[in-house]
Copies of this chain bind each other. A is one copy, B any other.
Amino acid sequence: MPLLGHSIIAGEDVEGHAGSAFAQAPATSTALEPAFTLLDEAQVADAVGTAAAAFADYRATSPVARAAFLEAVAEEIEADGGEIVQRAVLESGLTTARLTGELARTCGQLRMFAAVVRRADHRGVRVDPALPDRAPLPRPDLRVRQVPLGPVVVFGASNFPLAFSTAGGDTASALAAGCPVVVKAHPAHPGTSELVARAVARASARTGMPPGVFSLVHGAGTEVGRQLVTDPRVKAVGFTGSRAGGLALVAAAAARAEPIPVYAEMSSVNPVVILPGALSGAAGVVTALAAGYLASLTGSAGQLCTKPGLLFLPAGPIGDAFVAGIAATQTGMPGTTMLTSGIRAAYDRGVGRLARSAGVSTVATGTNGGGANAPASVVASTDLATFGADPELADEVFGAAGLVVRYDPAGAEGVDRLRDTLAGLEGQLTATLRLDPASEDDLRIARILLPALEDRAGRVLVNGWPTGVEVTHAMVHGGPFPATSDSRTTSVGSLAIERFQRPVCYQDLPDALLPEDLRSDNPWDVPRSIDGARP
């Protein structure tokens, strides 16, 4: 069906009363039809109202029914997959290949959460049976389970129009936990959002969910976001975006009469440390390493949360070969279209700041790509002392820009300085070591650096690149502040469901009053521990 420029509230099309806006095609800097009407305050409140009204019924859905809903969402998205990807290409400037992969990831993620819901481990059921004969006092029967927090607001992310937006990871994990979701559509891809929202609404209708389980709202400016976060019926927030945006939401949520958790994934420069062993061996090894770095740096125009923005490289000839490899690969490499002209302008400012910094020199640049917003990639270089003296050099430049920091790998002092520099970084999503696992010297240095990296990051890699986040049970896409606002959680992988739950204990409830997942006959076959042990 054609795009109508509507919000979708509890399965119904809603025309907004607060004006309208067009998406912009970043490749051409032109407006894309149709106009999207924007909701006014009362309409946004209505959307939250439908979510609040749906909560009681939705939270009570059985594992089977809730899982079927999530799987239906995946099916309905796939049914419109071609159209969704086509519109997302126009709105985001990302390639068809990237967005096709992102759509598959989005649907895979929904199915993973369906499997998690069916397995029901996340309900965290623990039973401590009554001890009626315990002296001096009998022990009551105690049962705990995790219950959903309530309606959740999700903000679409500019850089993942599918996997971190309308039916992305935050939405999938909140729905899996039993929370209705209101998505604030990202203004850069409203059409993609509408198409995906229609798929969710169809899935909801055909699996018999309460309609308010999902809504998509188009709204102007930051005021609608603020309204959503401060609505007392909203109980948690998921956000992926800028540090300023995330911190504003965190502050608004903390100032509520009842504060609520905000899971904001904000900024990260994802340090990579190349140890000497990784640069030894055949010349081709170093060239391939440099090419791998550039691919990770420039993929999706460098607009990935896990882009390796900071690379620590041995000083001296051994590192020079890597720098030469960068220059050889990067020179002439065309830039690719960025998400919006605003993001492109911010990239230009970031690159300009880097270029003007004392003690920083340019290693290589690519060339401008075709279209309106495809700036050249940039790799700059400095040394550890300069880096340590200028905190701004550790700031994220969103886009295909990287900073190489040369360190002295010789002797204990050089390694200790490197470790101290890493330990002094802000919180990161990832930290990576490139090393030769057969080199005792690399392993020795790695053991010195690893505690600092683990302390500063949510994911530690050896011999990979941080971009390309697997959606699995062991994944952590999170990390200490300001990588995220809550280091205790992840926004990717099955652990993400825990963000939207809280424990409730039931003491001495008769079976007639216990919820299904705690009843003695365990009708939903939910895994449970007894007295702290798995049977």
Contacts and interface: CB of A to CB of B under 8 A. Distances in A.
Interface string A149-174: 11000000000000000000000000
Nearest to A512: B443
A461 B142 CA distance: 9
Contacts of A137: 468
A132 to B, nearest CB: 13
Contacts of A486: 261
Contacts of A127: 474
Contacts of A482: 258
Interface residues of A, number: 77
A480 interface: yes
Oligomer: number of copies? 2
A490 B507 CA distance: 15
Interface in A181-202: none
* Best-buried of A121, A464, A509, A512 by chain B (most CB within 10 Å): A509
Contact of A470 (B140, B457, B459): B140
Contacts of A139: 470, 472
Interface string A225-255: 0000000000000000000000000100010
Contacts of A111: none
Given A464-B507, A494-B532, A473 B427 contact: no
A458 B503 contact: yes
A443 B478 CA distance: 44
A139 B119 CA distance: 23
Nearest to A452: B56
Given A128-B472, A144-B495, A474-B143, A459 B505 contact: yes
Contacts of A502: 458, 478, 480, 487-488
A488 B508 contact: no
A80 interface: no
B474 A144 contact: yes
B476 A144 contact: yes
Contacts of A116: 532
A474 B119 contact: no
Given A119-B532, A127-B474, A459-B506, 9 more contacts: A139-B472, A144-B475, A258-B482, A437-B512, A447-B513, A458-B503, A461-B509, A480-B502, A487-B502
7 contacts: A137-B468, A254-B254, A450-B513, A460-B507, A463-B508, A464-B507, A476-B505
Interface of A: 56, 115-116, 119, 121, 126-128, 137, 139-140, 142-144, 147, 149-150, 250, 254, 258-259, 261, 426-427, 437, 443, 446-447, 450-451, 454-455, 457-464, 468, 470, 472-476, 478, 480-482, 485-490, 494-495, 501-510, 512-513, 527, 529, 531-534
Q: Identify the 5 closest CB pairs spanning chains A and B, nearest first.
A: A476-B505, A473-B532, A142-B474, A144-B474, A461-B507
